[in-house]
Amino acid sequence: MPELPEVETITRELNRRIRGRRIEKVHVFRADALGNRSPEAFADDLYRREIHRVSRRGKFLIFHLRPRRYLVCHLRMTGKFIVTAPLRGPHPHHRLWFALDDGSLLVFQDVRCLGTLEVVARLSASASLERLGIEPLSKDFCPEWLTEALGRSRTPLKNWLMDQRRIAGLGNIYASEILFAAGISPTRPADSIDEEGASRLHGMTKRILRMAIRKNGTTISDFRRVDEKTGEFQNFLQVYGKTGEPCPRCKTPIVRIRQQQRSTFYCPRCQL
Ligand SMILES: [Zn+2]
């Protein structure tokens, strides 16, 4: 699933490609992403609105439209956007087409149909955005905040980091990588991390996320940038997916465990 760096990469590319374009027509081939909205109501809501800019909140993409509406999108496992010249007909996994005023198409493709698209008049009207916690690349995310927040929970640290209501944007890959960089075990209860540990965790969270954004995210299986390009951060992963390989620091084999039905990768010697 795309995490913060992947969604940030897509946001930047969409801004380069479709900023200022107007939506002339919406074709819905499969309506799963629209929840309870009818395809007609969804298309009406977007008709002839300009894509003023695209931004990100946690793992959500937000299209800012004029006259004012917001198209809030979560890609889930396999959702992606493609900008293309007009096509004769949809490919099998194309779910929606947004026909733009310069003749190009913005395609929403989703193999597993778990992605979501929601139109709201105000961002505060989006229940999914309202539930999100702090942005880890914002100024508000500081060592003091993290120390305080960790102290209020006994949840194992890896699960704590992935809870979108606490910090928005971290998933399985980056939680594992950040904990390795900080030298902290993924199974430690959140409230066992002292001020010094929280400060290290804070620093590494920002550092790993920024580095991954510079490398356009991580492509393991499904993630593609706009137009099927891949990210490059998979070449810089230290522990994720490396079961049995020597730890880059101490050569101890990397271990894989299950936490909340997800794989966690870590070095049992370096991460205490
Ligand atoms: Zn190690």
Give the mean model confidence (pLDDT) for residues 36-62.
97
Q: How far is the CA of 199 from the centre of ligand 1 (A)?
A: 20
**CATH annotation of 143-266:** 1.10.8.50
Instruction: Say what the pTM is.
Output: 0.95
* C-alpha to C-alpha distance for 177 and 239, rounded to whole angstroms: 6
The pLDDT of residue 224 is above 80: no
- Contact by Cβ (8 Å): 200, 193: no
Per cent of the chain over pLDDT 70 is 100
Domain boundaries, the chain: 4-130, 143-266
Q: How far is the CA of 175 from the centre of ligand 1 (A)?
A: 17
Per cent of the chain over pLDDT 90 is 95
- φ, ψ of residue 40 in degrees (nearest 5): -65, -45
- Contact by Cβ (8 Å): 174, 5: yes
Among 3, 6, 118, 177, the active-site one is: 3
**How many residues are there in the chain?**
272
* C-alpha to C-alpha distance for 192 and 211, rounded to whole angstroms: 28
4-130 belongs to CATH 2.60.34.10: no
Q: Which pair of tokens denotes residue 228?
A: 């099927």
Q: How far is the CA of 49 from the centre of ligand 1 (A)?
A: 53
- C-alpha distances in Å from residue 108, one per residue of 7, 29, 105, 234, 241: 14, 10, 10, 24, 29
- Contact by Cβ (8 Å): 153, 191: yes
The pLDDT of residue 1 is above 90: no
Q: How far is the CA of 227 from the centre of ligand 1 (A)?
A: 37
Amino acid at 215: K
| pLDDT band, residue 126 (cuts 50/70/90) | very high
- The per-residue pLDDT for 222 is 67
Among 17, 135, 262, 268, the active-site one is: 262
Helix (H, G, I), strand (E, B) or coil at 234: helix
